[in-house]
Amino acid sequence: MEQVIIPRNTSDLIEAQFEVLYNVFKDKSRDEDLEFDLSQIQWVHPLVILPISAYINDTHSKYILESCKISTYLDAMKFPQGVDSIDLFRQAIISGRSYIPITVFRKATGVFREKLEAMFQEKIAEMLGAIKETESAITYPISELVTNIFEHSKKDIGFICAQIYRNKNYLDICIVDRGRGITKAYEEEKKLQLSDEDALRAAMRGESTKPNLESERGFGIQTSKNIICEALEGQFILISGAAGLLIRKGKENLIPLPEFYWQGTIVAFRITKPLGPIDIYKFLH
Amino acid sequence: MNQNNSTILKMVDLLAPILSSRDVITDVIKIALKHTNTRLVFLDFIDVKFISRSVAHELLMIQNQFEHTIFQKKEIRFINMNEDVRKMFAIVKDSKTHSEHTKIEFNPKKIDIDSLLSKI
């Protein structure tokens, strides 16, 4: 089993987290069983810890926490198994803390999944101190991106977590699945043979993978990105297969990821506390 | 709750204060509707803070199905919607009416990973 040493953070920039994630999974075979060595890390962001958690849950991979300076934090985050019930979520949430632990949504739990997701959403709004007129700007992207897991990924499990950095005035959220990925969704539903890069472009242009013309059009991810980046002045990362998108400060970058492959989809975003009412409906078509 | 000739289904009790998942709506609401014995059913959105586009779309489809079915025909009305819920239904209804696909531009700049990482 190959050992992967998770490197120390060099920066809080979202690009730096992207770099860590890329280096963790670079040059690995798909679904290879790995041993993640977290002993050297002194901090970890959602964009790194959540995909590792999802990967461990999905494979027979292991992890090492010996001498890890943040083992207490990782334990509080319920790394790597996460919490998947309302009771476990309530037990793991401690008032005033700066994180929401790794939360696992399982399709089979039906209405309890809906309640768990609502609790997660409400906790996010509380952590941000969001006023009532801004909550929909936070709720919409999370709802759409989690829904995408169960409507598109062909996987019955999704992962989410969050961390607020009060001194820096931003909140990081990451949403991960280990499903078929965006490229495969277009191939299987629309019979389109796209590269991973073209699949991300298509998704961001709102080209639906839904086979039924009566179904809602595929604007969820594109609208979510617009709300995050424009209404919330945030930063947005989308990774699926061997391609990624990084959108921040008005710049949209498409990044081919050689020698890297993520089975499924990773979405991560960084937002600050909204300062005034936000009308998300002007972003919806 | 069944009052006279109508039934009220309280969405927050059946589901949650934030409604996101189409599949959960389909499973729970359709079953709940089939178990009502009145022709008129109110879906009560009191204390529901937000519904996703998928959920709004699914509920409108369910409303339409029950109104046009031969057996177990029902009139379904949505009540006590807050502004966010009302606006989401309006958006979805509007997109069903104007179903032509609006082309969205997305032309990101392609950048190789080494160039991106060298700027960190």
Alpha-carbon distance A153 to nearest alpha carbon in chain B (angstroms): 14
For residue A219, what pLDDT is reported? Answer: 61
Over 90: is that where the pLDDT of A267 sits?
A: yes
C-alpha distances in angstroms, A165 versus A27, A45, A46, A169, A259?
32, 10, 12, 6, 32
Task: Give me the mean pLDDT over the A8-28 stretch.
Answer: 93
A136 touches chain B (CB under 8 A): yes
CA distance A66 to A79: 14
Alpha-carbon distance A175 to nearest alpha carbon in chain B (angstroms): 15
CA distance B93 to A105: 29
ipTM of the prediction: 0.91
3-state secondary structure of A76: helix
Measured in degrees and rounded to the nearest 5, phi and psi for residue B7 equal -125, 140
The interaxial angle of helices A135-152 and B22-34, nearest 10 deg, is 90
CB A243 within 8 A of CB A197: yes
pLDDT digits (tens, 9 = 90+) for B68-120: 998 889 999 999 999 999 999 999 998 866 655 566 789 999 999 998 888 77
Q: For A206, name the nearest residue in chain B, comparing CA atoms only.
A: B104
B65 touches chain A (CB under 8 A): no
pTM of the shown model: 0.94
Residues of B in contact with A108 (CB under 8 A): none
User: Which chain A residues in 223-262 lie under 8 Å from chain B, judged by CB atoms?
Assistant: 245-247, 251-258
Cβ of B50 within 8 Å of Cβ of A253? The answer is no
User: Which chain B residues in 72-111 lie under 8 Å from chain A, judged by CB atoms?
Assistant: 84, 87-88, 91-92, 95, 101-111
CB A120 within 8 A of CB A142: yes
Largest CA distance in chain B: 71
pLDDT digits (tens, 9 = 90+) for B1-10: 665 799 999 9
B20 touches chain A (CB under 8 A): yes
A269 touches chain B (CB under 8 A): no
Cβ of B50 within 8 Å of Cβ of A143? The answer is yes
C-alpha distances in angstroms, A148 versus A52, A73, A165?
20, 29, 27
The three state secondary structure string of chain B is CEECCEEEEEHHHHCCCEECCHHHHHHHHHHHHHCCCCCEEEEECCCCCEECHHHHHHHHHHHHHHHHCCCCCCEEEEECCCHHHHHHHHHHHHHHHCCCCCCCCCCCEECCHHHHHHCC
Cβ of A111 within 8 Å of Cβ of B54? The answer is no
A15 touches chain B (CB under 8 A): yes
Neighbours of A58 (CB within 10 A): 18
User: In the numeric block, which tokens belong to residue B106?
Assistant: 């997305």
pLDDT digits (tens, 9 = 90+) for A145-187: 999 999 899 999 999 999 999 999 999 999 999 999 999 999 9
User: In the numeric block, which tokens belong to residue A200?
Assistant: 């991300």
Cβ of A255 within 8 Å of Cβ of B117? The answer is no
Alpha-carbon distance B16 to nearest alpha carbon in chain A (angstroms): 5
CB A6 within 8 A of CB A45: no
Measured in degrees and rounded to the nearest 5, phi and psi for residue A45 equal -100, 160
Task: Give me the mean pLDDT over the A46-72 stretch.
Answer: 96
DSSP A156: S
DSSP A83: B
For residue A216, what pLDDT is reported? Answer: 52
